[in-house]
A and B are shown apart, each in its own frame.
Chain A
Amino acid sequence: MTMIPERSFAAPMVDSANAPFWQAASEGVLLIKRCNACGEAHWYPRPFCPHCGSENTEWVTASGSGTVYSFTVTRKAGPVPYVLAYVTLDEGVTMLTNLVDAEIEALHIGQRVNVVFRQAEGGGAVPVFTPVAP
């Protein structure tokens, strides 16, 4: 069995619209946006709801639990292999992410995962996911 190698993450690109997300991430909290008009969550976070157009959105704390929708072990595009994945959060939105701290051969679609945070170079933290222990 081969563990996914650890890789470094660049500092988050913080702007006026996403600053609350990255602040929370640095504190180990995963935020998503929910619309108060239609009730739907969306990803990636925007200052308006892409489903209904309302600007009445708020940041809410995600449970951090989700399910692997798809993944790929990328072996030739970086210094070390890494696992790009889509994870569907229990709140219903699917986000692009990495899977970490897992055996490559055991990865599978439908796997339950939890959010963990990796320190970024130059400060901040990046949410990634790791399989729930069976």
Chain B
Amino acid sequence: MFLLAFRRSRRGFYQSVTDSSVDIRDVTKRHGATVAVDHLSLKIRKSEFFSILGPSGSGKTTTLRLLAGFEQPDSGEILIEGAPMQGVPPNRRPVNLVFQNYALFPHMTVSENVAFGLEMKGLPPAEVGPRVVDALDMVRLAGKQDRLPSQLSGGEQQRVALARALVNRPAVLLLDEPLGALDRQLRQEMEVELKVLQERVGITFVCVTHDQEEALTMSDRLAVLHHGRLLQVGTPEEIYSGPVSGFVANFIGVSNSLSGRVQELHGETVSIAVDGIGVVRSIAPPGVDVGRSVVMTIRPERLRLAHDTGHEDPNDRRNHLIVRVAKAIYSGSDTHYLLTLPNNQVWKAAVQNSESPGKRFSAGEPASLTWSPADAVVLTE
């Protein structure tokens, strides 16, 4: 999550709506009896790194193909840079797609692959050469011009695919699960590289993925899709700390939850009665009244564990629970604890190891669990 700092350093996003690079207006697409994309409306801004996130079957790949032009919407409109794309085939759209398995032409060298789009557009050979060289430099593949795709590693192939798309200077670059085929180490490196690349070229990137870590790391904004419907759009922070539904909360990062009924409302604060636990306090969401069923969710890293299971300070507005540590899982920078709550639910807590070297817990130990009401999100459903 340290890469969140990356985005904070960028300029603000106070652009008007007419600055849309991609405008999807109420688009629906059916595949046979299934509705792949269901009345989707989305605006993607110029020069932003936008991710479409969702599990398989959520319609994200279909959305990408609709943008690329390989499929046409059954209803609704798609505009790219303000121009309607109705009936426009892929070879006439100002977009280029980086395919999931790269789709490099096996019978052409790296430079022939990269030059392909320029050739098709009729660029004179004298101009093609330098642009290919520039594109390969940009993805750090200089010197491999004459290799065949079969002679490259997975990471190198991906960079060729990127160069091949970017060299055409499209208005929008589409990426289909760009990091899916890479191993973990490479993936983390490429997350940074892609982000840097996008900032350098300034083109709108639309990336489709099922990996929430990728989406949160690289995107300026992201959209969560489920069963073809848009659930939420926002910056990574907005979505992570303010999910609008249980699905989003659970899909993005790990989330712990408690279900209960609203007992009291004090202005902004709400008291929720949970069976087997007691009363927990949180920030009231809009439109909730007493008696309503709600779900309170909280992220693992917002939980605090202490050995002192003793007395509560009445002035302490935080929530307290006595729990038992079921399991401690060491994972490098953090330790994850599986905690058994008084109502036998299992929660996950994440504690940074650097923070509290002396405060380790072992399985079977009791512990005091604390969290602030402001750190939880209450969802009505």
Do the two chains bind?
Answer: no
